């Protein structure tokens, strides 16, 4: 394991890994979006300390909790709705476009990988997407604007599904909610097939997502962890970089693969 905190040394070491990467996977967490103005969960002052996430059972138990969840979602839209992809997102989109990655697996729900040009077919959203909603009972999709209209028309109350009366929730995976089966299968397949697994901006404590780096490593991939703070998986990585994601990745994607030279 090589641990680099010096940016220049870190970029050089990562450049060496990327030079030979032909079938990489970028696995991202909230840390890649902090430079876009979206706070992560577990950094000091992160969302976790201000708003404990609402688990599924509490969401289902009362309309008051559903209303609180939607109130928070609309507040987030006002604060972060206009966020743009950052240097990390752009570097990953470029690696994918260059044919160096077999896919991108994200725990994020902010839609910024798509906004940076990653096609849906190459992206696995393990924890869903907060930019639209679904009925938890019949799966009908609803747009946030529609939820907002209903919410306001009801004097500030979470709406039910007009089709079946079920609860309407952002299309995200809350704590206590089952992981999406198809997305997990795609993510695990990518982890097992990649030659380099880049874990970027994740505290690697939310399972089962956090099992993917070790699955990749066990299947023979080179494991790189790029995160400002140490993670529990650092001892298993081939390269650990404790530095700012944008500073490290900016411009690095351009290294051509040996066969393209």
Catalytic residues: 127
**Stretch touching Zn ion by CB under 5 A, among 29-37, 70-78, 99-107, 159-167:** 159-167
Among 16, 57, 163, 232, the residue binding Zn ion under the rule CB under 5 A is: 163
Out of ligand NAD, Zn ion, none, what residue 163 binds, judged by CB under 5 to 8 A for its kind, is Zn ion
Closest chain position to ligand NAD (CB) = 31
Q: Does 161 engage in binding with Zn ion (CB under 5 A)?
A: yes
Q: Should residue 107 be labelled a site residue for ligand NAD when binding is judged by CB under 6 A? A: yes
3-state secondary structure labels for all residues of the chain:
CEEECCHHHHHHHHHHHHHCCCCEEEEECHHHHHHHCCCCCCCCCCHHHHCCCCCHHHHHHCHHHHHHHHHHHHHHHHHHCCCCCCHHHHHHHHHHHCCCEEEEEECCCCCHHHHCCCCHHHEEECCEEEEEEEECCCCCEEEHHHHHHHHHHCCCCCCECCCCCCEEEEEECCCCCCCCHHHHHHHHHHHHHCCEEEEECCCCCCCCHHHHHHHHHHCCCEEEEECCCCCCCHHHCCEEECCCHHHHHCCHHHCCCHHHC
User: Site for ligand NAD (CB under 6 A): which residue of 2, 20, 23, 46?
Assistant: 46
Among 127, 169, 188, 253, binds ligand NAD (CB under 6 A): 127
Binding-site string for Zn ion from residue 107 to residue 146, where x marks contact by CB under 5 A and - marks none: ----------------------------x-xx--------
What part of residues 220-259 is at the interface with ligand NAD (CB under 6 A)? 227-229, 244-245
| Residues contributing to the site for ligand NAD (CB under 6 A) | 29-31, 33-35, 38, 40-43, 46-47, 107-110, 127, 201-203, 206, 227-229, 244-245
């Amino acid at each position: 394991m090589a641990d680099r905190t010096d940016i220049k040394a870190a970029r050089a070491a990562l450049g060496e890994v990327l030079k030979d990467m032909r079938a990489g996977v970028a696995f991202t967490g909230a840390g890649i979006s902090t430079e876009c103005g979206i706070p992560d969960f577990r950094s000091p002052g992160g969302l976790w300390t201000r708003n404990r996430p609402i688990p599924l059972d509490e969401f289902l138990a009362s309309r008051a909790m559903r209303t609180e969840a939607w109130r928070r979602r609309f507040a987030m839209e006002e604060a972060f709705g206009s966020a743009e992809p950052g240097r990390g997102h752009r570097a990953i989109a470029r690696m994918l476009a260059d044919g160096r990655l077999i896919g991108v697996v994200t725990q994020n729900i902010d839609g910024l990988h798509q906004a940076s040009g990653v096609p849906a077919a190459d992206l696995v959203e393990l924890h869903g997407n907060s930019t639209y909603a679904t009925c938890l009972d019949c799966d009908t999709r609803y747009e946030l604007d529609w939820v907002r209209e209903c919410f306001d028309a009801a004097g500030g109350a979470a709406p039910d599904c007009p089709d079946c009366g079920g609860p309407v929730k952002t299309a995200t995976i809350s704590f206590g909610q089952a992981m999406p089966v198809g997305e997990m299968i795609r993510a695990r397949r990518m982890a097992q097939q990649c030659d380099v697994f880049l874990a970027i901006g994740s505290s690697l404590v939310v399972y089962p997502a956090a099992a993917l780096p070790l699955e990749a490593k066990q299947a023979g991939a080179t494991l790189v962890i790029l995160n400002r703070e140490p993670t529990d998986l650092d001892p298993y990585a081939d390269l650990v970089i404790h530095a700012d994601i944008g500073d490290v990745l900016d411009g690095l994607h351009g290294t051509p693969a040996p066969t393209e030279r």
